[in-house]
Chains A and B, each alone.
Chain A
Amino acid sequence: MDLGLFAQYVMNGLMLGMMYALVAVGFTLFFGVLDVIKFSHGDVLTVGAFTALATFVGLTGIGLRSPWLELVVMLVAATGAMALLGMLIARYLVMPLRGAPPLNTLLITLMLGTVLRESVRLFYPQGGNPKPFPALLPRASIDLGDFNLRLDNVMMLAAGVAAIVALQYLLNRTKLGLAIRAVAQDEETARTMGINFTAIVLVTFAIGSGLAAFAGVMNGLYYNEINFGIGLYLGVIGFSAAIIGGLGSIYGAILGGLLFAALQTVGTVLLPFASAYKDVFAFAVVIAIMAWRPTGLIREKISERV
């Protein structure tokens, strides 16, 4: 394979990996503070992407034609709305079930995901069909030999890195981040230190869901198309990525996302005849990874308390 094609694959893999990582980070954050897996996370992403699309339609309706301004408003609307949705879910569905059997939390978030997904399908105008997503980023590209470096991809990648760096800064350098980490480490001690547990959980869910909306917009811009099923797909893969990296670790989630994208890209390169089976391959990898390392590449150190 020549270098240009190789670079193309690396670029595609990085884009995919960035999206997976953003979703995986959400799973890891939620697991950290509440020890729950929120299965509706992927569908929050879908709703976020559709919120952005609806915002775009609205903005076009009132005659706004500046792509940059539109993009900024879309991002703010989508992340803001999803942060709010994430907080509502945490407050009214996940937190009341803290004492319940884990199966109930699992089922409730799974069914909530279905409610969100079906709501998009039924109540968004023609939500059952794939919807075109506007290409708002500049379409310029640089040709490097065979390699066609698209400017919009570079910008999205940079935005993703910026989001993760910002999250990292928030978690490690601010008082809020300290509180989140304290709650994740030991809820009771954190409470006795005067940390408002409920508020921290809500903020964490807001951050995670906002990141999912960001990933949703990114997905739309990258493929120029969204449908109501993307969340389920990205949710399952994001969750697996979070597990590969070891739940609870931000770096692990990012690493997991990139690794997963790499595996998927390698799979497509090695099996070009089976490109239709791309998603089949992705899910097979999910199952295989769960069989190989059920608790992630970095094994859980704490044994179960009986």
Chain B
Amino acid sequence: MAAGRNDGRAALWPGVAALAVATGYLIALLAVERPAVVIALLAAGIAVVVAAAWLGLFGRVSAAFAEHENRLALGAVTAAIALAAVFHEDHFVLLLVTTVLLYSVATLGLNIQFGYAGVLNFAGASFFGIGAYTSAVLNTHTAIPHLVVLLIGGLLAAVIGSLLLVPVLRTRGHYAAVVTIAFALLLKTFLEVNDILGGPQGMQVPSMKILGWSFNDNIELAGVSLSFYMNYFVVSLLLLIGAFIVVRRLERSWVGLNLDALRLDETAASCFGLDIARWKITAFLIGNFLIGIAGALFGMVGGFVAPNNYTFADSLILVSILLLGGIGNPWGLVVATFIVVVVPEKLQAIQEYRFLLYAAMVIAVLLFRPEGLLPRPVRRYFPGWQP
């Protein structure tokens, strides 16, 4: 048995090593302040990645992740907690990491739409914004418990998204893209001209409270003071873990199989008896629900919502994350979110140019590596099965 285990099954250590290196690198990157050092670190990171790709190490890492996903996922959570522990007093870094976690949740939602079902959605930021505005309005005017507000934010995003169902189902490809682009522009204009929702100035979001525990107070635990963002970090991490599990289970189940069939060939899928409309609706609504929840929490984390944070350009950034990470691969998405969110924050010089840079980057990715940095592996039908 032991021999049978060794041949065919990938080793665990490349995954653990990759995780450890990535965590260490991230801590270093988040810790340094001087632009020159940041640039040097980024250059070193790119060099290491290129060298690893050249030596074929990525294949072993992704094999390890495919084989030992549960253990490595636990390792990733540990890494995230270690990261938070290192920066337990640093407001800015914790806010940044929380942002990454929430953006990951949103791109996971987008991934169900784009990556599995092949339903185009260029209004990701709009649904994110619907969630954020929900928490702004409900936290200000009602006493609904804030965890329920998160759920309502997700539901509202799904409900408003369902207004688009008819045009999205009746159209394909480019036409469907226009429907969602038009919605993104519509929503932003609507938020700008609507006085009740604060107009172009936006509105404040009262901070999160769970059972009397106010999230905007710094924490004192056994003599160690923690940044108040630690609260949000924990909730966001839990949200990401939940979303990740849901997406992963969905992908592996027969639902995911149906969605894949639907994306690859609609006509063939319907010939095999799949209800195209049903699965498209499922993917679109679940995706928007996840984006909405992430948005609702993000509104509370930021404490402020304004139409300019939820523009069409922001939706395109979400799509860029998806393409950079590798459409359909949740692990790739989290990595890509780190890159896309953290790099402009650390290099303030490029902050202003981020839309331009990411658009150019996506064009380069599409031209030279259309499958993304970490391509989605072939579906594994049984544990240990080699395609």
How far, in angstroms, from A12 to B183 measured CA to CA in the complex? Answer: 25
Contacting residues, chain B, for A104 (C-beta < 8 A) = 366, 370
How far, in angstroms, from A279 to B186 measured CA to CA in the complex? Answer: 7
Name the CB-closest residue of B to A288. Answer: B167
Return the CB mask of A276-291 against B: 1 if under 8 Å, else 0: 1101100110111011
How far, in angstroms, from A236 to B177 measured CA to CA in the complex? Answer: 10
Contacting residues, chain A, for B320 (C-beta < 8 A) = 111
> For the complex, is B34 an interface residue (Cβ under 8 Å from A)?
no
Shortest distance between the CB of A238 and any CB in chain B (Å): 11
Contacting residues, chain B, for A280 (C-beta < 8 A) = 186, 189-190, 193
Return the CB mask of A10-44 against B: 1 if under 8 Å, else 0: 00000000000000000000000000010100000
Q: Is the CB of A236 within 8 A of B355?
A: no
Q: Is the CB of A114 within 8 A of B185?
A: no
Name the CB-closest residue of B to A92. Answer: B367
How far, in angstroms, from A256 to B179 measured CA to CA in the complex? Answer: 17
Contacting residues, chain B, for A122 (C-beta < 8 A) = 352-353, 356
With contact pairs A118-B356, A233-B185, A290-B179 given, residues A276 and B193 touching in the complex (Cβ less than 8 Å): yes
Number of interface residues of A (CB under 8 A): 41
Shortest distance between the CB of B89 and any CB in chain A (Å): 36
Shortest distance between the CB of A285 and any CB in chain B (Å): 9
How far, in angstroms, from A294 to B168 measured CA to CA in the complex? Answer: 9
Q: Is the CB of A283 within 8 A of B167?
A: no
> For the complex, is B57 an interface residue (Cβ under 8 Å from A)?
no
Contacting residues, chain B, for A236 (C-beta < 8 A) = 178, 181-182, 185
Number of interface residues of B (CB under 8 A): 41
Name the CB-closest residue of A to B165. Answer: A291
> For the complex, is B278 an interface residue (Cβ under 8 Å from A)?
no
Contacting residues, chain A, for B352 (C-beta < 8 A) = 122
Pick the contact of A107: B193, B323, B353, B355 (CB < 8 A): B323
> For the complex, is B49 an interface residue (Cβ under 8 Å from A)?
no
Q: Is the CB of A290 within 8 A of B167?
A: yes
Contacting residues, chain B, for A239 (C-beta < 8 A) = 178
In terms of DSSP, what is the predominant structure of the interface of chain B?
A: helix
Q: Is the CB of B185 within 8 A of A294?
A: no
List residues 115-141 of chain B with CB under 8 A from any CB of chain A: 118, 120, 122
Pick the contact of B356: A119, A279, A306 (CB < 8 A): A119
How far, in angstroms, from A239 to B181 measured CA to CA in the complex? Answer: 11
- A-contacting 9-mer, from B90-98, B292-300, B357-365: B357-365
How far, in angstroms, from A103 to B164 measured CA to CA in the complex? Answer: 20
Return the CB mask of B332-368 against A: 1 if under 8 Å, else 0: 0000000000000000000011011001101100110
Q: Is the CB of A291 within 8 A of B167?
A: yes
Pick the contact of A114: B171, B193, B355 (CB < 8 A): B355
Q: Is the CB of A283 within 8 A of B182?
A: yes
How far, in angstroms, from A294 to B185 measured CA to CA in the complex? Answer: 19
Q: Is the CB of A306 within 8 A of B167?
A: no
How far, in angstroms, from A108 to B190 measured CA to CA in the complex? Answer: 28
> Can you list 29 A-B contacts with CB-CB less than 8 angstroms, sorted by A residue number?
A93-B363, A102-B174, A104-B366, A106-B120, A106-B173, A107-B362, A108-B363, A111-B320, A111-B359, A111-B362, A111-B363, A111-B366, A114-B316, A114-B355, A115-B356, A118-B313, A118-B353, A236-B178, A240-B178, A276-B193, A277-B193, A283-B186, A283-B189, A286-B179, A286-B182, A290-B171, A291-B179, A294-B170, A294-B171
Tell me the B residues contacting A by CB distance below 8 Å. Answer: 118, 120, 122, 164, 166-167, 170-175, 177-179, 181-183, 185-186, 189-190, 193, 267, 312-313, 316, 319-320, 323, 352-353, 355-356, 359-360, 362-363, 366-367, 370
Tell me the A residues contacting B by CB distance below 8 Å. Answer: 37, 39, 93, 96-97, 100, 102-104, 106-108, 110-112, 114-115, 118-119, 122, 232-233, 236, 239-240, 243, 276-277, 279-280, 283-284, 286-288, 290-291, 294-295, 304, 306
